Structure 1
Amino acid sequence: MTETPLPDTLSGLLGLGGFGIAGELLAGILASAIVGTFMLLNTALAGPWAKRKITAAFTDRISVNRIGPAGIGTIVVDAVRLLSKELIIPEDADRPAYDIAPLVLASSALLGFAVIPMGNGIQVADPEIGLAYVFAVASIASLGLVMAGYASNNKYSFLGGLRAVAQNLAYEIPLVLTGASVVIFAGSLRMSEIVAAQSGTLFSLGPISVPAWFAFVNPFAFALFFVANLAEVGRNPFDIPEAPTEIVAGYQTEYSSVYFVLFYLGEFIHIFLGGAIIATLFLGGPAGPVLPGIVWFTIKIWAVFFFTQWARSAVPRVRIDQLIQIGWKGMLVLSFANLVLTAVIVGVIA
């Protein structure tokens, strides 16, 4: 990709180039605000409304339909309802850890979008270690989950926090190793170069051309990454940290009002970040015919979101011991095998 980064584009449009570092800082803040607002709007649409509509369609029920066309006004109603509730803080909560945890969870995902190429020059930054940066900031969420579980002074919350850490450790290593296999193919950690490496054609069948997306080049790695991502974002069958039949609501049991909203927001932002990483690593990023790149990027991340909601409705939850065994004895071994095989294949071809 050769598009000019979004801060540089804004700097040129607004004439900020003559203000030196201050102009660059302002352009970066504006670019971050645009990307952040775009993703927050997607999250607002997904959480209170689309999630209910998709789940109702899968389970043959009637979903929200009273407020606005197709019930879309539920987004505003839910926001007002949740934010206006009383903020109840447990008497023996460990503050400020209790207060910081929801912010850590939500902000860690938003930081990841800074290096995601969304098409048409919509990318805040494009560092050489872009993929490593995304994995690093996304993993900060684990800290927020531990803080929430511990600081709530609730045994169910604490158990949920411990389960979340055990799960993230078990599946983040396969996630990173599978991402490393993509880096071997692309020859770079830079997100724009990973997208550019998928710009060719893998093969053609008459008038139909199959793009060289890494999902087609290495479907095994794509499947591994998809499953590991489900575990990272806590969707079935890997929603053990929030298992309502066992630990009430897990690490977020003692949170209400705006704090609960931040946890809910963080959960869905992480789902979309996972979708953005999958789209970038395996689905050609914003690439696609006819439509602008940002439209294709949005379609791809929503496709991942749709799949997570299908899993939530259709796939039964596994036990915590089964979850850990799948991660350490299954996913880890398969991800190492995929990494070695990819290195051998690329080495032979090169």
Structure 2
Amino acid sequence: MATATPLPDTISDILGIGGFAGELLSMLLGAALVGTIMLTMTAFAGPWAKRKITAAFTDRVSVNRIGPMGLGTIIVDAVRLLSKELIIPEGSDRPAYDIAPVVLAGSAILGFAVIPMGNGIHLADPETGLVFVFAVASIASLGLLMGGYASNNKYSLLGGLRAVAQNIAYEIPLVVTAASVVLFTGSLQMSEIVAAQSAELTTIAGLRIPAWFAFVNPFAFVLFMVANLAEVGRNPFDTPEAPTEIVGGYQTEYSSVYFVLFYLGEFVHIFLGGAIIATLFLGGPAGPFLPGFVWFTIKIWAVFLFTQWCRSAVPRVRIDQIIEIGWKGLLVLSFANLVLTAVILGVLGI
């Protein structure tokens, strides 16, 4: 299948530049554009949308005093947090303490390099794109553990250890469930996974139902959504930073710009999870009438809305229950889904 021209090549053609320097400049400009889009959405999601959604679910009044609909809160919060004093805990492991927030935020942004967002908005389309996005997303666990360990705070250390234990327990079901999608497509290339969902599954009362894997295999879709909640640390899986138990977990001792990076990384990871779900199960940027990028944005914001609904409505479970659910529940179900998918495809000769 012919794929859309990668964004750096499009930029290179528009600017009329070539050679190594031209390719490098085009790649940097493309990465800056995609990064700016994601960071802008994160800026809306963190200080503003999260509060608005939580207030709607809990029947409270949210931010509404600064700017229209309270949108000025985004700028005010950025200035407020960045202007705070950066306090370094005594006895902290300074190199690890400094690097941890960058690792968390950077790993999430890097994952968007292989996500097809529609209309040629993708930076690269390697044959192992799905492996790449899971690999870079998993680096976040290292950042959380580094932050918890380096803070010289027992609550931070507990939060970091909880984060690693939780991520390991749920990353395996996440990858195994994604493997069931690969069985359908026969490819790890993100564009091929999107293309495999472009066919028509069925027609009901004149309404065309696309062959999105959320419709083809809804069980896998549900498993992936649950495992993704654990990966992004949303209820009922937010024990790594449970404020009623361990103050703030791995980020307890972080302030100023470092706290902003942790906060930023958390929401970028939520959007990356939404992007992966949209690509694997919701047809990527596919949709009627509107441009592909608009549909892609709608889908990842829908996943974000779901995570915020869980944050407001679902109670937190204990860390031992979380580990048990992951290893004894989702892991078994994900392997059962993989085997059943392989058997069905083998019987159908697909």
Q: Which secondary structure does the structure 1 equivalent of 2:98 belong to?
A: helix
What is the deviation of 1:210? 0.7
1:87-141, Cα deviation, whole Å (9 max, x unpaired): 0000111010000000000000000000000000000000000000000000000
Paired position in structure 1 for 2:129 = 130
Paired position in structure 2 for 1:344 = 343
For structure 2, the 5+ residue unaligned runs are: none
Q: Indicate yes or no: 2:169 matched with 1:170.
A: yes
Letter of the 1:345 partner, please give it: I
Q: Indicate yes or no: 2:228 matched with 1:229.
A: yes
Q: Pairwise CA RMSD of aligned residues?
A: 0.6
Q: Indicate yes or no: 2:3 matched with 1:2.
A: yes
1:277-333, Cα deviation, whole Å (9 max, x unpaired): 000000000000000000000000000000000000000000111100000000000
What is the deviation of 1:206? 2.4
Q: Indicate yes or no: 2:17 matched with 1:16.
A: yes
What is the deviation of 1:2? 2.4
> What is the CA–CA distance in structure 1 between the aligned matches of 2:190 and 2:282, rounded to whole Å?
13
What is the deviation of 1:24? 1.1
> What is the CA–CA distance in structure 1 between the aligned matches of 2:328 and 2:204, rounded to whole Å?
39
Letter of the 1:349 partner, please give it: L
Q: Indicate yes or no: 2:202 matched with 1:209.
A: no
* Identical columns (%): 81
Within 5 A, what are the aligned runs for 1:103-114?
103-114=102-113
Within 5 A, what are the aligned runs for 1:1-350?
2-17=3-18, 20-350=19-349
Q: Which secondary structure does the structure 1 equivalent of 2:222 belong to?
A: helix
> What is the CA–CA distance in structure 1 between the aligned matches of 2:6 and 2:345, rounded to whole Å?
31
> What is the CA–CA distance in structure 2 between the aligned matches of 1:44 and 1:186, rounded to whole Å?
35
Letter of the 1:295 partner, please give it: V
Letter of the 1:10 partner, please give it: I
Letter of the 1:142 partner, please give it: S
> What is the CA–CA distance in structure 2 between the aligned matches of 1:91 and 1:159, rounded to whole Å?
18
> What is the CA–CA distance in structure 2 between the aligned matches of 1:48 and 1:206, rounded to whole Å?
43
> What is the CA–CA distance in structure 2 between the aligned matches of 1:15 and 1:340, rounded to whole Å?
50
1:51-99, Cα deviation, whole Å (9 max, x unpaired): 0000000000000000000000000000000000000000111010000
Q: Which secondary structure does the structure 2 equivalent of 1:344 belong to?
A: helix
Letter of the 2:300 partner, please give it: I
User: Structure 1 runs of 4+ off > 4 angstroms?
Assistant: none
Q: Which secondary structure does the structure 1 equivalent of 2:94 belong to?
A: coil
> What is the CA–CA distance in structure 1 between the aligned matches of 2:276 and 2:24, rounded to whole Å?
26
> What is the CA–CA distance in structure 2 between the aligned matches of 1:180 and 1:30, rounded to whole Å?
33
1:10-68, Cα deviation, whole Å (9 max, x unpaired): 00000112xx1221111111111100000000000000000000000000000000000
When normalised by structure 1's length, the TM-score is 0.99
What is the deviation of 1:231? 0.1
For structure 1, the 5+ residue unaligned runs are: none
Q: Which secondary structure does the structure 2 equivalent of 1:30 belong to?
A: helix
1:196-222, Cα deviation, whole Å (9 max, x unpaired): 000011000121111100000000000
1:247-269, Cα deviation, whole Å (9 max, x unpaired): 00000000000000000000000
Q: Which secondary structure does the structure 1 equivalent of 2:120 belong to?
A: coil
